[in-house]
Structure 1
């Protein structure tokens, strides 16, 4: 009944009976039980709502959108981005803060707790109203929410024991790889709706891939499907750095070596302005130096897509994250260079339309799924047990 009510909006017992194939008496018993548990809300009947025409007015019910909240958190290396949403998926609060990548594990934990506590306090609802919380991190994550050790400690610092730290902050707490959450967002509301085979490629500072094949999001024993360390060994890529890093490094090198035209737009950039966004904007405007940087990045991306295409045979590769807004000059260069890097038909290469907060969006979607299938049934059972104990 909860599964039906989640998507039904306002419904009657007859609506529920038709959708669930339950008998009328079983349907009414289930509805009354959930109303008693304060998980379903009974609304004014059809006569009181002004919809009555003839016969006995039907009772009407709904799953209240304000029954609880969910939260999605992108715990990036240099930022925290949090969205709190109601059960209809409507964002009611969004906060983003910058953090120091050099923060220790305790400092990162403190920053996460402060952001979450202050945001939930702003919603003016009880703390136990948070039904599900999902956190995205730039690390492989196993099914228990923990990351394996990294040779330089990066994964442990990024995923700073978050599943344990936040265990009492919601009824369901999950930690997931950020690229896998980006793939969830693309498949639900983005460029991969109705696509069964695609890769969501986070390509800003570092590379990460969420891989969906035959409609299934691939995970692996340690959550490592889509980890990009292997590109350290791919000629012409040579690292897991993302397109943003490649573009910025190449721009700085050209300016330092005097390779940029002295009277050109690239050479005129001040040191603080040399970032991927500015360089890509110049490339889109046709600046020769910036265009050459976009071609270099595109050739690197073509090799990346060639490897992903050979390994997973996707229909589509979607470049995601903040870099996506201006990445079209890089994609054009990558499409032109892709042919020699694949024997299979090349996947289409497109940019995401979901913006810089794609990981947060994916985390909210995952939290909604957890609220629907885990937290709400638990809540109903707890309230019914409490009512029985009082009797």
Structure 2
């Protein structure tokens, strides 16, 4: 009954009976129990709002989306984007905090996460006691317990310094995920993978990362490393997990430093440190031949990486996501032309995400709502304060 109500908007008891297959008495009992818990509100009946003319008027209900809040956080290395949303995932407040990456010890990271959560709650006019669920995305593998494995230089532990255990001290439902996995959640819920059961989302900014959904399920692996990209170190023509944004910038700067940019070119007299991949893409879009050669190189790289995922996971779709995705239309065009020569299986559809830099944060909110819906009825007395206050 709760699953139906969460999706239904305003509904009447007969709608609930038809959707759940419950008898009238059982359906009414379930609805009344959800009202007592504080998850549903009863509205004026159909006759009172002019929607019913004969016989016994139907009772009308809706989910109390304001009964509690959920929090979704994109906890990147250099930023924390925190969104407070209602139970349907509608944002109430969102804030981004830039971090000093030279101060990323475990204690500093935990303190920053808590400060960002509290600040976003204040902006939303809520407090910790109103929070039902939190989902945090981090740039590290995360297993089903919310833990990250050891990394050779400790980076994964610094990005996820037992965040789940810290948040569970006061949040009833806590979920930790890899950031690319949350981008995949977002694409499946509100993006380019709606209705698709087998897809890979490739975060392509500073470093490549992947979120994998197969048979409609998010794939993590034993240690959360199903989408970890260190394997690209061993792929001919790729050789590292450095992302598309950094690659484009690096290739252009290397060419400038080596004197390979043609005389008279718009970038010929620009200091290498001032050349960016975004500028190269803009020049290529304007028809610049030299910039076009950089785009060809980037397209070949994207085709090779897409082929790796096409061969390993057999997805029907590969979605390139992140802030850089919106600028990669020409790169994707080149990659699409090359992909058939890179894979033996059916060629996956290669598409660009429209969610931009907010894909991880959007996925975190979607995942928090999903976890809240799955777990709220199991909380009992440990649920947030507002669930017991029917209004």
Instruction: State the TM-score bracket (shorter-chain normalisation).
Output: over 0.9
**Number of equivalences:** 386
The aligned runs of 1:282-297 (5 Å cut-off) are: 282-297=283-298
Is 1:42 the counterpart of 2:42 in the alignment? yes
Shift of 1:135: 0.6
Number of the residue aligned with 2:238: 237
**Structural mapping, 1:198-213, within 5 Å:** 198-213=199-214
Distance 1:304 1:133 in 2: 32
Q: Deviations over 1:36-58 (max 9, x none)?
A: 22222111222322323122322
RMSD of the alignment, in Å?
A: 2.2
Separation (CA, whole Å) in 2 of partners of 1:44 and 1:330: 56
Aligned partners of 2:52, 2:196: CA distance in 1, in Å? 43
TM alignment of 1:156-175, pairs within 5 A? 156-175=157-176
Q: Secondary structure at the match of 2:379?
A: helix
Mark the CA change 1:305 to 1:42 in structure 2 (over 3 Å): closer, same or farther: same
User: Distance in 2 between the 1:297 and 1:181 partners?
Assistant: 25
Deviations for 1:220-275, whole angstroms, at most 9, x for unmatched residues? 11111011111111121111111111111111111111111343223355566433
Contact 1:95/1:119 (<8 A) preserved: yes
1:130-209 pair list within 5 angstroms: 130-209=131-210
* Alignment correspondent of 1:106: 107
Aligned to 2:358: 357
Q: Following superposition of structure 1 onto structure 2, how do residues 229-378 of structure 1 map, counting pairs within 5 Å?
A: 229-267=230-268, 269=270, 273-378=274-379
The residue aligned with 1:119 is 120
What's the counterpart of residue 67 of structure 2?
67
Classify the secondary structure of the residue corresponding to 1:57: coil
- Aligned to 1:148, what secondary structure does the other structure show? coil
Gaps of 5+ in 2: none
Deviations 1:305-346 (A, max 9, x none): 222111112221111101101011221222233343222232
Which residue does 1:4 correspond to in 2? 4
Distance 1:283 1:215, change over 3 A: same
Contact 2:172/2:383, CA 8 A, preserved across alignment: no
SS at match of 2:224: coil
TM-superposed CA distance for 1:289, in Å, is 2.7
Label 1:272 to 1:168 Cα distance change in 2 as closer, same or farther (>3 A).
Answer: farther
2:129 equivalent to 1:128: yes
Q: In 2, Cα distance between the equivalents of 1:39 and 1:113?
A: 27
Separation of aligned partners in 1, 2:342 and 2:97: 40
What are the Cα deviations for residues 171-196 of structure 1, in whole angstroms up to 9, with x where unaligned? 21111011111111112221112222
TM-fit CA distance, 1:151:
0.6
Following superposition, the deviation at residue 376 of structure 1 comes to 4.8
CA distance in structure 2 between the partners assigned to 1:165 and 1:275 by the alignment: 39
Q: Which structure 1 segments of 5+ residues have no match?
A: none
After superposition, the Cα gap between the structure-2 partners of 1:62 and 1:237, relative to the gap in structure 1 and judged at 3 Å, is same
> In 2 relative to 1, CA 381–27 (structure 1 residues): closer, same or farther, beyond 3 Å?
farther
Contact (CA 8 Å) 1:13, 1:60: kept in 2 or not? yes
After superposition, the Cα gap between the structure-2 partners of 1:348 and 1:3, relative to the gap in structure 1 and judged at 3 Å, is closer
Give the deviation of 1:217 after TM superposition.
2.0
1:216 and 2:212 equivalent?
no
TM-score (norm 1): 0.92
Preserved CA contact (<8 Å) 1:179 1:359: yes
* 3-state SS, counterpart of residue 357 of structure 1: helix
Q: Assess if the C-alpha contact under 8 Å between 1:265 and 1:287 holds in 2.
A: no
Q: More displaced, 275-284 or 195-204? A: 275-284
Moved more, 236-245 or 21-30: 21-30
1:16 partnered with 2:16: yes
**CA separation in 2, counterparts of 1:159 and 1:262?**
48
Range 143-152 or range 294-303, more displaced: 294-303
Relative distance call for 1:336 and 1:34 in structure 2 (3 A) is: closer
3-state DSSP of counterpart to 1:349: strand
Residues in 1 aligned to 2:36 and 2:241: alpha-carbon distance in whole angstroms? 54
